[in-house]
Amino acid sequence: MVIHKANKQKYIIQLEDVWKIYQMDAVQVTALQGVHLDVKKGEFLVILGPSGSGKSTLLNMIGSLDLPTKGKIFLDGRNIANLPESDLAQLRGKKIGFVFQVFNLIPSLSALENVSLPMMFQGVSRDERIKKAGYLLKKVNLGERITHLPSELSGGERQRVAIARALVNNPEVILADEPTGNLDSKSGQEIVEMLRQFNKEGKTVIMITHERSLTKYADRICLLKDGQIMSCLADGKKKMRKLEEAM
């Protein structure tokens, strides 16, 4: 196990010269080009970019759902780019919570059962799973909807279930991939405000989006274009104009 000691206490995630190249028959497609990125513990980082800029690929690299072609990715000091899949699975289960655009809820399971499911893989007892899932659903204002199937919930409610599920193993990092993409503007704003609240409670949140209006919630904004980070700026409200100029 490789531990990256430099800045270990300050940064929870560090990317060093990360590339992702896909081989499609005789053609190479470069999705990420030499990405360098440091994410502080407790930060709310928004990665902004148009469709096809490499946002989802970058988030998949950070979350160890995919591995870089070359480069290093450190999560809490560990170079995850070199870890075996068994270790990556444990890391994902304990350190990272995922929130996806398409919710990824199991249609035949209730809200409570969907939220409980990740805890089964961590060996948590049934009673504890039910207790914790119920608590988290109440925390996302779905305490009265725990027995409902996904088909009986609105889009915003389904995304709240997904957020509760992302939190069940108390991860240090929440990765949100276009979490408002399938929602109306009001529901989308409520979801991002909820993520911001969990961030204030100590979670590191990395959210990717193409919606500039959501950058107001960020501690820092990074602009991704053609697989490269063009710039990163603090204070989203004041710095948005500079990012727009870079686009």
Residue 27 within any structural domain of the chain: no
Amino acid in position 219: D
Token pair listed for 138: 């109440």
In a domain, 228, yes or no: yes
A 10 A CB-CB count for 111 gives 27
- Residue 143's domain is classified under what CATH number? 3.40.50.300
Instruction: Name, in order, each residue with C-beta under 8 angstroms of 149's C-beta and a sequence gap of 6 or more.
Output: 107, 108, 109, 110, 111
Is 15 part of a structural domain of the chain? no
Residue 73 in any domain: the answer is: no
In a domain, 116, yes or no: yes
Category of 66 on φ-ψ map: left (φ > 0), alpha (ψ -120 to 50) or beta: beta
In a domain, 8, yes or no: no
Question: How confident is the prediction along the chain (247 residues), in pLDDT tens digits per residue?
Answer: 445 554 556 899 999 999 999 988 889 999 999 999 999 999 999 999 988 899 999 999 999 999 999 999 999 888 998 888 888 888 888 899 999 888 889 999 999 999 999 888 788 899 999 999 999 999 999 999 999 999 999 999 999 999 999 999 899 999 999 999 888 889 899 999 999 999 999 999 999 998 888 888 999 999 999 999 999 988 655 556 665 565 5
The parent domain of residue 136 ranges over 40-65+84-246
User: What is the pTM (predicted TM-score) of this model?
Assistant: 0.88
Q: Please tell me the total count of domains within the chain.
A: 1
**75: in domain:** no
Q: Is residue 122 part of a domain?
A: yes
